[in-house]
Chains A and B, each alone.
Chain A
Amino acid sequence: MAIDSVTLEILKNHSRAAAESMAFTLYRTAHSAFVKETEDFTTGLTTPEGETFATPTELGATWFVGLNYKNVIDLIDHYDEGDICLTNDPYSGYVCTHSPDMHIWKPVFHEGEIVCFVVGHIHNTDVGGAVPASLSRTLSEIHQEGVRIPPAKILRKGEVNDDVLSIMLANVRMPEQNWGDLKAQIASMNTGERKVHDMIAKFGIETFKEGIAALLDYAEDQARAIVRDLPDGQYAFADYMDEDVAEGYPCRIALNVTIDGDSLVFDLTGSDPQIEGSVNMPTGGEVRHALMMVGLVYVLYSLDKKLFLNSGISRVCRCILPTGTIVNPEFPAAVGLRTLSVQRLQAIIFGAFVQAAPDKLPASPASGGPIMNVNGIDNRTGRRVVASTGPIVGGAGGNPHEDGTEGSGANSSFLKNTPVEINEAEVPIKIVRYGLRPDSGGPGKFRGGMATVMHFVSQAPNTRITARNRDRTRFTSWGVLGGHAGATSQFLLNPGTNHEVNLGNTDILTIGPGDEMLVACGGAGGWGNPFERDPAAVLLDVQRGFVSMDSALQDYGVVIKDGAVDEAATTKLRASEPGKVNGAFYDYGSGRDAFEVVWTEANYAAMTELLAELPVHWRFFVKHRVFEAIEALDDDALKGDGSEIRTVFADVIARYPQLQMSA
């Protein structure tokens, strides 16, 4: 590199200071409680070409390290000093990834030349559209997900552009809050701009220009060094969401990672067609789309925590994202709840890499826990309360050295809960139980972390509960190398009564006074054979209430008598049942095992291949007809080699002559 390595390190610290200062300014001056509570925002600095060279690590969402603003920067034809631009349209340049995210960027000029951009986003609580908060899995078109502002100047030469602002504010439910948060974003842009000017004054313009390019190269070099240490090869992994739409069929995301020297290819061919719902991931097929890079950044950073986080990291990877699929939907597919699919994708990336480095990476983190919201009238005040009662999350997967963390961790580490006492003060519910859910973490030599569970009683009639991102009631978090899958998630109405209802993946319902709800996240996967777990650790788990006596005996082969490990009986039991380990690399859990008896890899691949040949607007429809037809088949018609899929598919096509006429 041309810039000397000492100056580079100093410039790196100053660049990060700029990004962190932007984040603190935004966090401090934001109006909405949502921003303060969830920290769902980012700030950053990009090169004039839009590559992010510095991001904050202390505050904000972890998703956008690899974000490239080039497409939206280019959609504005001319910049003046003092301009600030914004967009929240997922289909204008594929920088924004769902409509609540308001992305904003400001050019920084030096002597008339743009030398970098300061950038960032905030997740707005609401941007209008069909439902409050703008997100629901029942939506199927982007137009239902709120107002869309294509890239436009919100400030022109430092003056607010009321034309754009008034359109935006006229279309949202809480305009003052959106405007307040936008002002905080503008303040953060100005902080960043000032910091960049300070850096130019300190380092000189040439060093600054060279330096920011070198920072991207530096992160790239670091990332390549990490990749080079992984064995070359192809590592395929796929996983499912329980349902593509409410009461629908499973939805698969398939990934084939190629490690070749210091480069990677992520091939998502074989993933489901785009959904008539809102869990689609809008990537535009960009070969290094930020949403595809989240899991990669987690993996590489976890392998080497000295990795400098910027979009230089994503240069090591190239993605293949077939159009018309869940990973590259065509306009106007809805994308609001891509949170669920992106999180699943992250764990799928972990699943591929753990094959390459099983001695370095963990089993699957938990998922399937929702962010809970309660909307009801507080008896004490007569006021309507709309409040989040917090995320119901689960732990990290077991790893080669220790158990997964309890209650949260891995790719849900940034979430914070709401205290029980605050929930009871603010929301018309009484909480009966909040804590860890026994036996939820997948058994293993190093077990998966326990999930959290909340059990509460509604205090008022017509209390609406939303449980966004419910999943994992069927397909569970996987274990590796003999470690077991985690427990399924749970969502029960009036548990333990004669009118108990299993709500499955329901994500919205209305309950009344005295109704009880139990919501539990799925557990994380275990790492390694649980029969090799230190019996003392199993005993401690039992004493801690994390593992039941039954599970200690059945899953871990540990006999506990009078509060102590019966060493002799344990040794005998463990020796007699080595068959607990079937030698498979992954344990997917019984839900997926049962599903894949029918839907073998060959069958699923055959279906996605055939669907890919259809016009995009037919694929989701035909997928459902194929699933129905396969469900109707007799067991002996199932061969698992793809042939029954081809037969069924041909039948379905034949039923719809309209398809022949479709372009």
Chain B
Amino acid sequence: MSYRVGVDIGGTFTDFCVFDEESGGLHTLKVLSTPEKPGEEVLTGIQELERRHGVAPGDISYFTHGTTVGVNTVIQRKGINLCLFTTENFEDVLEVARLKMPDPYDLFSRRPVPLVGREKVFPIPGRILFDGSEEIPLDEDAVLEALEGVRAVGGDGVVVALLHSYRNPSHERRVIEIVKREAPELFIVSTSEVWPIIREYERTVTAVVAGYVQPRVSHYLGSLQDALGKAGVPAEPMITKSNGGVMSAEAGKTRCAQMLLSGTAAGVIGACQIARMAKVENALSLDIGGTSADVAVVRSGMPQYGIGEMIGDFPIFIPTVSVTSIGEGGGSIAWVDPHGVLKVGPESAGSNPGPACYDNGGERPTITDAFVVSGFLGQSELGYGNVTMRTDLAQKAVATVAEKLSMSLEETAEAIIKVGISGMYLEVSKLVSRYGIDPREMSLVAFGGAGPMLACHVARELNMRRIVIPLTPGVLSAFGGLIADIKNDFIRTVYLDLDTTTAGTIRDGFAELREAAMTWIRDEQGFGGEATLLHSADLRYRGQSYEIDTPLELEWLETGDVAAIEAAFHREHERVYEHADEEAPVQVINLRMVVVGEPPKPALPLLAKAEGDPVPVGSVEVHVDGGRQPAGIYRRGDLRAGHRFQGPAIVTQDDCTTCILNGFSAEVDEYGNLILEAGE
């Protein structure tokens, strides 16, 4: 026997997705997360998998894991007592940031309080210039003085952030040597090690977030390795990364900056895989949970990457699967403002107390309660039997709002859903305009606990015609981790004009990146399979202050084909901004390299073919579109490839409910994905 196990730890639940290599079967499981004892839920789940599905720990041959321990450490501000060494006279880099405030209309708007207070920032005299030359030598005595400062504030660790270290890291390296010699007990990391990009705030905040969480993440990964070992799991755990790939847990201990958004990124990787299986080229990935909805763009089956993605309050600038988080989910609370206008959110009942219908103390109506009142929810147990729906409590909660609006319960429920959906529409509209894409030409891949419940409403609002609900919508991040590639990113700032005189420098730069990439995947990751190298560069027109990551072909680099590189940039610029200037000089800011190793992928099982029509297990009246309609109830497990039925309908499964509205037809594809199409 041999199993591949993907695990994703979320705020409330920890999800498991198991692939049985012999039978080709998929199993899923959710257990409650134990944030106070991270790792314990993994062991609970492994025991539960053995009990329920006979998965012996000794038979687990591949294990991937996404964790929020890093991001939660930032959100809860429970990282180490970190200090920062900066170039003298530039100590306010975190305080000043890039100046801009989150809400420019609000006189009280504030930037988040930095993770390192200004009193823990110590100056280091010495200066490297833009070209990498040393203007003023490093003041080594000042390093000792700064160490005194660290001791005085009880610091546990230090980030070293000196100007222009992306170009010449020698001062940063020397500081690290001195600190390691003088204070070996301190954790220390430099900005050039974490992610060596130009722009001092961006480089510093990335390293500070990473440094702040690293000892904790490292400790967590160590205990996970131990626990898995004790449980008899032979596989060396792999960790899912923000870039949508995986790396060994051992590597994660020192490179935790790369795994801060591991769970969300893996969800998008899962959505990309679902899109490819459903033969969908372009899609919006929509992961809706209790408090938020994560939206991502899938193009040609691939995720989009962003920089400046948020870790709690802070942006980090290493390549990350781009996900926009909308503060609205199944738990968003409905209320009525003093002018009699119905609002939904931003407050959320979250997972505790959760919606009123969960009978966990929640009294205010949520979107989920509105679905209960309208008859769509409450038809089966949710959360693997952990949650029972109380229709009466949902009605009671919705009634509080209905009274203020002088509307019936059902009308109010529908109004809550529509207002909530219009809020999501607003945020998704911004996202698609930012990318310049038209959602009407895309499919919606909906997952997460509340995604399948809201998918038809969202699609209607956005005029999207096609929805894909994966077979295991509740555990798609765990699934995404299972199929992710081993992957790492490398960057080198060159800041050059692109012309024939610089082609050699660019070629040499890539040669160095290539060497680093191969060392990583062969030596650090011990991966012996075929490794793919992807070359690209951050290019811009001279005078611009933003770059476009432009994919390049190795041949252009080797032959110094500057014209081909320029042409590729003009095309990318045209695609992204709808115009290009073929006469304008082009600058190369960064060279980038991605190394990808594909571990053997599970062959996903095909669903048995349907014979005849699907048989509903029941029928219920739902209130939708202003009236009552009968809706068939189907069990997801009963559905077979080729089954077709019409909305309104309800599809229930262990971890979520799919609500299919009138006008949508449903079809089950060969992998078990539920494909919903809007009628004309």
Contact = CB atoms under 8 A, between A and B. Distances in A.
Contact of A8 (B92, B163, B341, B430): B341
B96 A406 contact: yes
A297 B426 contact: no
Interface string B74-108: 00000000000000011111011111110111111
A17 B100 CA distance: 23
A6 B419 contact: yes
A545 B91 contact: yes
A430 B129 contact: yes
Contact of B129 (A28, A410, A424): A424
Give the size range of A's interface with the partner.
35 or more
Interface stretch (B514-522, B541-549, B604-612): B541-549
B544 A36 contact: yes
Interface stretch (B111-119, B247-255, B657-665): B111-119
Contacts of B527: none
B429 interface: yes
A183 B105 contact: no
A218 B579 contact: no
Interface in B406-456: 415, 418-419, 422-423, 425-426, 429-430, 432-434, 436
Question: Chain B interface: which size bin?
Answer: 35 or more
B576 A218 contact: no
Interface stretch (B193-201, B560-568, B640-648): B193-201
Contacts of B110: 405, 409
A36 B131 CA distance: 27
Contact of A361 (B107, B201, B429, B577): B107
Given A17-B429, A191-B433, A37 B339 contact: no
Nearest to A58: B430
B13 to A, nearest CB: 30
Interface in A295-336: 297-299, 301-302, 305-306, 309
Nearest to B576: A28
Contact of B91 (A9, A391, A425, A435): A435
Contacts of A433: 89-90
B384 interface: no
B545 A422 contact: yes
Contact of A407 (B90, B99, B581): B99
B560 to A, nearest CB: 21
B337 interface: yes
Interface in A347-391: 350, 361-362, 365, 380, 391
B423 to A, nearest CB: 6
A218 to B, nearest CB: 6
Contact of A408 (B101, B130, B202, B429): B101
A470 interface: no
B101 A405 contact: yes
B341 A435 contact: no
The listed residue with most A CB atoms (<10 A of its CB), out of B108, B338, B429, B544, is B108
Contact of B107 (A302, A434, A543): A302
B105 A309 contact: yes
Interface string A394-429: 001001000001111111011111111110110000
Interface in B581-602: 581
A29 B578 contact: yes
A187 interface: yes
Nearest to B166: A421
A420 B163 contact: yes
A647 interface: no
Given A33-B544, A191-B433, A17 B425 contact: yes
B107 A436 contact: no
A305 B101 CA distance: 15
A343 interface: no
B130 A13 contact: no
B100 A416 contact: yes
A603 interface: no
Given A13-B426, A14-B425, A302-B108, 8 more contacts: A5-B341, A9-B343, A10-B419, A10-B422, A28-B577, A33-B543, A297-B105, A421-B198
23 contacts: A17-B430, A20-B426, A31-B579, A36-B545, A65-B105, A225-B339, A361-B107, A365-B107, A396-B108, A405-B109, A405-B110, A407-B92, A408-B96, A417-B96, A419-B201, A425-B130, A432-B89, A435-B90, A435-B92, A435-B96, A540-B119, A545-B91, A546-B118
Interface of B: 89-93, 95-101, 103-111, 117-119, 129-131, 163-164, 166, 198-202, 337-343, 405, 415, 418-419, 422-423, 425-426, 429-430, 432-434, 436, 463, 495, 543-546, 576-579, 581
